[in-house]
Amino acid sequence: MSDSTNPVVRFYVLNRAHDPVQRERFACGLVAKGLAHGVGHIHIQVGGAQQAERLDTLLWTFRKESFIPHALQAQAEGEAVVIGDRPEALSEDALLINLGPEVPPAWQAFRRVFEVVVQAREVLEQTRAHFRHYHQAGVTPEKYDVD
Query: Which pLDDT belongs to residue 75?
Result: 66
Split at pLDDT 50, 70, 90, the class of 12 is very high
Phi and psi torsions of 66, nearest 5°: -160, 170
Domain boundaries, the chain: 8-146
pLDDT of 87-145, one tens digit each? 887 788 999 999 999 999 999 999 999 999 999 999 999 999 999 999 999 999 999 99
Q: Which CATH number describes the domain made up of 8-146? A: 3.40.50.10110
Question: How would you class 65 by CB atoms within 10 Å of its CB: exposed for 0-12, middle for 13-18, buried for 19 or more?
Answer: exposed
- pTM of this structure: 0.92
What is the C-alpha end-to-end distance of the chain, expressed in Å? Answer: 23
pLDDT of 18-56, one tens digit each? 998 899 999 999 999 999 999 989 999 999 999 999 999
